[in-house]
Amino acid sequence: MKKMIKNGVIVTATDQYAADLLIENGKIAKIGVQLDDAVDEVIDAKGNYLFPGGIDPHTHLDMPFGGTVTADDFETGTIAAAFGGTTTVIDFCLTNKGEALQNAIQAWHEKSKDKAVIDYGFHLMIGEVNDAVLAEIPAVIEREGITSFKVFMAYKNVFQADDATLFRTLLTAKEHGALVMVHAENGDVIDYLVSEALEKGHTEPIYHALTRPPEVEGEATGRAAALTGLANSQLYVVHVSCAEAANKIAEARQKGFQVWGETCPQYLLLDQNDLEKPDFEGAKYVWSPPLREKWNQDVLWDALKNGQLQTIGSDQCSFNFNGQKDLGKDDFTKIPNGGPIIEDRFSLLFSEGVKKGRISIHQFVDLVSTRSAKLFGLFPQKGTIAVGSDADLVIFDPDRERTISAETHHMNVDYSAFEGMKVTGEPISVLSRGEFVVRDGEFTGEPGRGQYMKRSRYNSAQARQATPVQ
């Protein structure tokens, strides 16, 4: 089966040009001007951009949290991702202390195998480092192709690891060629602030934000960065929400440390006031780290523009307002953390970033796709439009308008944190390895067609290839 996409404008992290594109066996076989190969099907992309499929480096699908499980699993979550222009997700595989890592990985394979409609990989949570864990690491990297490890510095008594664990994970990652990811908030201090707030009878959603101030994120980010320098290792800070943390990353990079930062659309577009919405609606806006005072948004946009933050993740972690978020009706600590965003990550960044002149179109591609492919060992199979790369493509109309709403989104959740917001620029059709998974706005994929991606080791030269500025 050969397909030709004609008349589109190809946009990568570095280039923009009009060309035709030939797809054969799921790969990009040729790119050229006025190609005339015999094909089974010609797709006219006139007036549209062709972007490499988005890579979402941060999702939680079918994840247990706070006594409940995320509303979106690998089927609904990846269908929604595909509608939003994302063709690869890297999900966090949670582990349990005292249990073999392989058990957790197996559990994640079972959650995803017959469900994913696009390709996917796993990051692996490290909660402890001991002889058994160290003995498993080589197989995790070589056999499973899992080349990124996640350490939580928060969620005391749940996921939180201590500093020695973080440090040993950094050393191990350095030795084996993996990238360490951190959720950077000081969980011990948060635990104290939370108990103090509850003692005073403060139970409303806003106290979620007030008990996790920017200082605890900045402090943990700086600590993780310092330990990375000491270990001469490599670090990726997930969901950077505020100036304090962004500045610590910039400082570490100034010293030459390999420290990378991700932010998410929610931190660029929503703010702490949303947690004060009446009738418990603030619970829809409970993320960790929390939404911040609005001025932080400018700092984050500047950091994206200047290359001090390098990726956009969704941190997709959806819970229904009715029946899940309301577990915390009388106690903000029981509100499951996270929100539905996998579907809107790509369009929100295009609309609010490119259309509003905050970032260039090449930065956009780098942020939503290319840089994650380079950092997480998927490049050049994923993350770009080039001969030999997977034909993961988004046919994107830059002028089409849409109003975001839970009524029309494809996520399996009963609200949108961006309800009513207008975006300009939409994926029309989305191809995964040359197959349409969304065509002219209709889902044409198949649960289970998504393939598990074994990823390459962390490659610092590739990771550090210059971020486009213009």
State the residues that interact with Zn ion by CB under 5 A.
183, 315
Q: Which does 337 bind (CB under 5 to 8 A by kind): ligand URP, Zn ion, none?
A: ligand URP
Query: Considering beta carbons, is residue 287 or 350 the nearer one to ligand URP?
Result: 287
* CB of 325 vs ligand URP, minimal distance in Å: 12
Are residues 382 and 390 in contact, defined by beta-carbon separation less than 8 angstroms? Answer: yes
Q: For residue 6, list its beta bridge partners.
A: 44
Least distance in Å: CB of 89 to Zn ion?
12
How many residues appear in the chain?
470
Residue type, 332: F
Contact flag: residue 317 with ligand URP (CB under 6 A): yes
Q: What are the C-alpha distances in Å from 304 to residues 240, 245, 250, 434, 467?
A: 11, 13, 11, 31, 10
Distance CA 8, CA 179 (A): 36
Does 415 sit near ligand URP (CB under 6 A)?
no
Q: Which of 78, 288, 363, 429 lies at the binding interface for ligand URP (CB under 6 A)?
A: 288
Which residue has tokens 């390098």?
A: 310
Q: Classify residue 398 as exposed, middle or buried by CB count within 10 Å of its CB (0-12, 13-18, 19+).
A: middle
- Dihedral pair phi/psi, residue 53, rounded to 5°: -55, 145
Among 115, 123, 168, 183, binds ligand URP (CB under 6 A): 183
User: Distance between CA atoms of 239 and 262, rounded to whole angstroms?
Assistant: 5
Among ligand URP, Zn ion, none, the one that 43 touches (CB under a kind-dependent 5 to 8 A) is none
CB of 345 to ligand URP, least distance (A): 14
Strand segments (E) across 243-370:
258-263, 311-312
Q: Taking the complex as a whole, how short is the minimal distance between the CB of residue 32 and Zn ion, in angstroms?
A: 39
Number of residues that bind ligand URP (CB under 6 A): 9
Whether the Cβ atoms of residue 424 and residue 92 lie closer than 8 Å to each other? no
Q: Smallest distance, Å, CB 419 to ligand URP?
A: 19
**CA-to-CA dists, residue 144 to 102, 141, 386, angstroms:** 9, 6, 26
Closest to ligand URP by CB, 337 or 432: 337
Binding to ligand URP in span 224-253, by CB under 6 A: 239
Q: Could you tell me the smallest distance in angstroms from the CB atom of residue 387 to Zn ion? A: 35
183 or 212: whose CB is closer to Zn ion?
183
Tell me whether residue 263 or residue 384 sits nearer to Zn ion (CB atom). Answer: 263
60 binds ligand URP (CB under 6 A): yes
Measured between alpha carbons, how far is 356 from 433 in angstroms, rounded to an integer?
Answer: 31
Identity of the residue, 239 or 455, whose beta carbon is nearer to ligand URP in the bound complex: 239
Minimum CB separation of residue 17 from ligand URP in Å reads 38
Q: Is 338 in the site for ligand URP (CB under 6 A)?
A: yes
3-class DSSP state of 297: helix
Q: How far is the CB of 50 from ligand URP (least distance, A)?
A: 32
Q: How far, in Å, are 136, 144, 213, 393, 457 from residue 103 at the CA level?
A: 11, 12, 36, 34, 22
Nearer to Zn ion, 29 or 104 (CB): 104
**What are the distances in angstroms from CA 11 to CA 8, 28, 296, 362?**
9, 14, 30, 7
Q: Which residues contact 149 (CB under 8 A, 6 or more apart)?
A: 123, 124, 125, 126, 169, 172, 173, 178, 179, 180, 181
Min dist CB 60 to Zn ion, Å, is: 5
Contact between 3 and ligand URP per CB under 6 A: no
- Angstrom distance (rounded) from CA 324 to CA 318: 9
Smaller CB separation from ligand URP, 310 or 337: 337
23 or 63, CB closer to Zn ion? 63
Q: Reduced to 3 states, what is the DSSP secondary structure of residue 171?
A: helix
From the CB of residue 406, how many other CB atoms can be counted at a distance below 10 Å?
15
Binding flag, residue 315, ligand URP (CB under 6 A): yes
The answer to whether 212 and 288 are in contact (CB under 8 A) is yes
Comparison of 168 and 183: residue with beta carbon closer to Zn ion: 183
Our finding on whether 62 is near ligand URP (CB under 6 A) is no
Of residues 74, 287, 376, 458, which one binds ligand URP by CB under 6 A? 287
Name the residue nearer to Zn ion (CB basis): 181 or 227.
181
205 binds ligand URP (CB under 6 A): no
What residues make contact with ligand URP under the rule CB under 6 A? 60, 183, 239, 287-288, 315, 317, 337-338
